[in-house]
Amino acid sequence: MSTPLEALARSRGIELRYQGADGKPHAASRRALAAIAEALGDVGSLPFLVAWEGDLAIAGRLAAGTRLVGEDGMEVPAGEPLPYGYFELQRKDELVARVVSAPVLERSSPGWALFAPTYALGDLGDLGRLGEWSAGLGASAVATLPLLAEPATMDGAGPGQQPYAPLSRMFWNEANLDIQAIPELKGAEVATTGALADLAGRASTLRPLLGEAARRLLRARSARRDAFVAYRAAHPELERYCRYRADLEAAHGGSDGTESELAHAFGQFAMDFQLSQLAARLGGAGSGLLLDLPVGCRPDGYDAWAHPEAFARGASVGSPPDGFFREGQNWGFPPPHPAADRAAGYPLWRAVLSHHLAHASWLRIDHVLGWKRLWWVPEGHSPKDGAYVRNPFDELLAVACLEAWRHGARLVGEDLGTVPRGFRPALSTRGVAGMEVAIFGFRTPRPDTVAYVDTHDTATFAGYLRGSDVALRERLGLTTRGAARRELAERRPVVERLVRRLVRQGRLAKAEQDDALAVLTGVLEELGESDAELVVVALEDLLAEEEPQNLPGTTRPENFARRISRSLEEVRADPRVVHALRRLDATRRLGKRPPTG
């Protein structure tokens, strides 16, 4: 029989037990259950009903005197299919429940994408040039890391760049702006992007420039000035965000508050404008943007400050122990409260999604497992002494599918780690792609996935082949010499089998077995022939770079700051890089290996 504490925890959505990455059952401690139950409080809220594909099965359960009212205030006639959208179930004008009618997303034809962090290239102008070049080779998208405001640009003194720990998931990082493309700054003394190696440096340089650009714009009578005024009016939360940023800067000895607010408002306008132009140019070339949505935001960030009711206090989001992190992880994000945003009809979740989907043809959802459950770490506890808290999976999924459908976009969920039973089929059934990572075993990707060679959190492809990632972790004390040797010993036969297979299939010449780009070209051909919806290859892998973009578990200054080793002009002129991408494109279009020559 359950104890009173266990009964309370279960009633508040806390999982008493879970299956770990080791395949064994684990039980949450009494301390964790008590602390998380207290952080959750009462989780009750109005019912929220999901009608997939407008299925009105819910209508049979509606009591007499109730009616469904859409976002436009119009009542949906009884017996008609429910159009996609958000509705309120009312009885005598009293809200009884909320309803979302959501579509199953349709798969797109097989394609591929080239990935590069925007900061590694320079700015949005460089991302656009990379995207247009790759589109000319047949790419369906250009992918990048999150472009959201983050601590390093808060006051120029943040702890390094942290794209997965943003201040907000609803506002852009203006440090990514292509300064030269801002009309109001033409003729101004502007530092070149090459001289600004990190986002914090760019932000400090940009802030006064953006303020000057805003003043110039407001002094002129033009369609662009009208667009700026209309943009601010259409985004009422923008003014509050700008005040938040100005107050932070003032606390660090920054400039005048009104001046800072204006600069940030213009920065958001300019980012939206440049992203819109970039998406339009790529769309005209048959390509698009693959943007990235982090799982959470900082506890001292804007979202948690402006909407404290939407987040639980007294706990952080993390992950349980696994093969890489034996003590588990604490990511430091305040957990979204399962009931708060839900009670209001998910306005924050919708705002976060639409912010990205306004420009993205693909949106990658970081740690999509969080839609089902999140690992809560109580304040003062070890990451391993936490518990899973259930989230309203079907509702979060339905809202995401509806917003993606409204913007004509696809969704891919990062479903790596300890995956609950039935989770992946549930995503697939609704048209949300999962992820496959080639270096995690070089398996044939599932049809309902996006295939990545590696990720920003893993070794690069060349680093994986040569074992330099293991050597780096050993050098930094993240693993012991013995563990490093065992890991390399386990990896060696995997690499040898891969190389033998590529040679046997005629994808790799024997003389090229130690050539990382040649091996990568063979792997891309294999992935290209698969039924994966999209294949993503990193620019750094095409350049055989070994240094990773990020090393999880560290705060190295190199994390999320490293520039690519060659200019875009040099990349475009490299015949081997072009050859690798043309072979990938051909396999994607033909569904099989293209003829040589």
180-202: per-residue pLDDT in tens?
999 999 876 555 444 344 556 66
Spatial distance between the Cα atoms of 374 and 389, rounded to a whole number of angstroms = 5
One-letter amino acid for residue 91 of the chain: R
- The per-residue pLDDT for 63 is 65
DSSP calls for 85-140: EEEEEEETTEEEEEEEEEPPPPPPPSEEEEE--HHHH-SHHHHHHHHHHHHHTT-S
Mean of pLDDT values over 68-73: 91
Q: Residue 592 pLDDT more than 90? A: no
Stronger pLDDT, 224 or 554, i.e. the higher one? 224
Looking at the fold, whether 169 and 262 belong to one and the same domain comes out as yes
In a domain, 258, yes or no: yes
pTM to 2 decimal places: 0.94
Q: What share of the chain in percent tops pLDDT 90?
A: 76
Task: For residue 567, count CB atoms less than 10 angstroms from its CB and return exposed for 0-12, middle for 13-18, buried for 19 or more.
Answer: middle
| Residue numbers of the domain that contains 199 | 161-273
Pick the range with the lowest mean pLDDT from 227-236, 313-322, 370-379, 455-464: 313-322
One-letter amino acid for residue 284 of the chain: G
In a domain, 188, yes or no: yes
Q: Residue 354 pLDDT more than 90? A: yes
Mean of pLDDT values over 331-346: 92
- The per-residue pLDDT for 188 is 64
Quick one: pLDDT band at residue 523, thresholds 50, 70, 90? very high
Mean of pLDDT values over 465-490: 95
Mean of pLDDT values over 247-269: 85
Count, in order, helices (H) and strands (E) of the chain. Answer: 20, 18
Stated as kind and residue range, the H or E segment containing 222 is none
Looking at the fold, whether 97 and 165 belong to one and the same domain comes out as no
Pick the range with the lowest mean pLDDT from 50-59, 139-148, 270-279: 50-59
Of 68, 102, 136, which closes a domain?
A: 102
Looking at the DSSP bridge assignments, the partners of residue 18 are 26
Task: Kindly provide the b/e burial profile for residues 50-67, where b requires at least 16 CB atoms within 10 angstroms of the residue's own CB.
Answer: bbbeeebebeeebeeeeb
> Residues near 489 by Cβ (< 8 Å), separated by ≥ 6?
none
Backbone torsions φ then ψ of 417, nearest 5 degrees? 115, -145
Looking at the fold, whether 188 and 85 belong to one and the same domain comes out as no
Average pLDDT over the chain reads: 91
In a domain, 496, yes or no: no
What does the DSSP 8-state code read for residue 448?
T
Looking at the fold, whether 98 and 170 belong to one and the same domain comes out as no
- Nearest 5°: the CA angle 233, 235, 241 is 115
Stronger pLDDT, 573 or 206, i.e. the higher one? 573
Of 102, 117, 148, which closes a domain?
A: 102
Spatial distance between the Cα atoms of 281 and 487, rounded to a whole number of angstroms = 45
In a domain, 233, yes or no: yes
Locus of tokens 């938040």: 244
Mean of pLDDT values over 201-215: 83
In a domain, 171, yes or no: yes
Tens of pLDDT, residue by residue over 93-125, are 899 999 999 999 999 999 999 999 999 999 999
Quick one: pLDDT band at residue 389, thresholds 50, 70, 90? very high
Spatial distance between the Cα atoms of 21 and 23, rounded to a whole number of angstroms = 5
Looking at the fold, whether 185 and 264 belong to one and the same domain comes out as yes
Would you give the distance in Å from CA 562 to the centre of its chain?
19
Q: Residue 46 pLDDT more than 70? A: yes
In a domain, 79, yes or no: yes
Mean of pLDDT values over 211-227: 94
In a domain, 402, yes or no: no
